Amino acid sequence: MEALRRLRKLRAKRMHFHFVLPRFLRRAGAMLRHFATPVLFLSDCLCAWLAAWFGPGLSALRRFFRRAFQKLPPRLQLRLRLWAIPPALLRAKRNLLLASAACLLLGLTAAALVPIVSGRTSPPDFGRQAAWRAYEQAERRGAARWAPRQLAAAKKALAQGLFEYRRQSARFLPLRNFEVARLILSQAEQRSWEAARAAVNRRKSAQERAQMQVHQATELVAIGRDFGMLMPLSLYERTLLARAQVRLQEAKQHWREGHYADAEALATESETVASRVGEACAERAGRYADTQLVERWRHMVDETVAWSRRTGQTAIVVSKAAHSLTLYRGGMPNKRYRADIGSNSIADKTASGDQATPEGKYRIVAKKDVGQSHYHRALLLDYPTAEDLAVFRRLRRSGKIRASAPGGQIEIHGEGGRQKDWTRGCVAIANPEMDELFNAVSIGTPVVIVGSHGDGGPFLELVERYRAAKSEVIP
């Protein structure tokens, strides 16, 4: 029994040493790493490896290390014994490692869930569609024509936003971040709407400018046509006026089609051409507003009216500018008739064939009844007078005219009332009015024909219209 107890004791001791030896070697290796030389550290590693592989068979090696341990200083032996880790501490360490691993796993899970919960991984589909719609609206409103720079900036931002959107969509879900894509798409939408608004504003501004230019060109062309109805135009002036009308029609057509820049250019050209005609006509018609001429004409009218008031007889005053024939009786106006004059209505008659009505003081020298005149009834005037002949000779000597005679057979006759100047120098009124005038006057009745005596008339109205149209400033 004693032998069996010793055998069991020896076996238990040997098994205990089998488990203690590797732990001792580990503690010795830790000590030697801090306090021994590298040679001892390597020997410790070698012994630990041998003990792990050969275990109980290394009794001599265990005795060697026991002796080595016993030769160590007591303080160092105590420290080595304190470093031995009990099983409970090992279990606590294992539990700590498991808890650390669980915490690490939870941290990683939280780190992966934070971007998803915060919305950074959510694709900005609505922002992408909004940016596309805004860009399409900009194109639909003509931004490519009216705001090309703004539209190009919006297109570039949209392309960058879509690229960033696709790049983030290809990444792993927790790593996605659509914030940059959302910001760029928002900028693209904003720039697209800015381009659309700029296009609308510029289109509206161009439309208004073109409309104002067309309106001004229309007014000037109409003035040119009215001048052409009141006075003869040269072939060159008629050509210019026709060209202005054609350009005006083209401008209106372009404006209706929405080509406002082209419409404005054509209307400007029409205005320029019509202005040349209007300027020439206004310059010629301006003689009716000449201060010296108006003063002279007014003096002639005043003398004639004073004579009629003094004698109580009739007198006739013809105003070419007002296209009027006024019958005075006793110095007071008795009748006023609409009069047509020579087709060259602006000029004063100086030579035969110039189609102008003479200006000056005349008298009736003959009365032609029905059948004696081609124009119902007529009152023949004593044109040319001595003053008219003197003017004719002076102009002929200076070379300003080439006609051989100053003309003649200037009458006040019927067949008028045509609302235009058509005679070859005579004054024409309507037939019923001519009958009244024919019976109211006699041979020797004074007749004064003036350009204007301050009574206005269509010529001066046209000149004022032309000046007002030219004074309008188009922004």
Tokens 């609505």 sit on residue: 126
How confident is the model at residue 37, as a pLDDT? 43
| Three-class DSSP category at 437 | helix
- How many angstroms separate the CA atoms of 166 and 390, rounded? 99
Model pTM?
A: 0.61
Query: Of 31-45, 307-321, 396-410, where does mean pLDDT reach its minimum?
Result: 31-45
Model confidence pLDDT, tens digit, residues 11-65 = 454 444 444 445 554 555 555 444 444 444 445 555 555 555 555 545 666 666 6
How confident is the model at residue 33, as a pLDDT? 46
Tokens for 403, please give them.
């006609």
Model confidence pLDDT, tens digit, residues 412-457 = 999 998 888 889 999 999 999 999 999 999 999 999 999 887 666 7
| Three-class DSSP category at 411 | strand
The answer for residues whose C-beta is within 8 angstroms of residue 182's C-beta and 6 or more apart is 124, 127
Q: Is the pLDDT of residue 323 over 80?
A: yes
CB 357, CB 349: distance < 8 Å = yes
Model confidence pLDDT, tens digit, residues 251-268 = 999 999 989 989 999 999
User: Helices 260-285 and 458-471, interaxial angle, to 10°?
Assistant: 140
CA dihedral over 288, 289, 292, 297, signed as positive or negative = positive
How confident is the model at residue 459, as a pLDDT? 77
User: Please, which pLDDT band fits residue 272 given cuts at 50, 70 and 90?
Assistant: very high
CA 131, 134, 135, 137: dihedral to nearest 10 degrees? 160
User: Please, which pLDDT band fits residue 462 given cuts at 50, 70 and 90?
Assistant: confident
The answer for residues whose C-beta is within 8 angstroms of residue 216's C-beta and 6 or more apart is 267, 271, 469, 472, 474
Tokens 């990444």 sit on residue: 171
How confident is the model at residue 20, as a pLDDT? 45
| Three-class DSSP category at 318 | strand
290-297 contacts: CB < 8 A, separation 24 or more? 293/451, 293/452, 294/451, 294/452, 294/453, 294/454, 297/359, 297/450, 297/451, 297/452, 297/453
User: Please, which pLDDT band fits residue 228 given cuts at 50, 70 and 90?
Assistant: confident
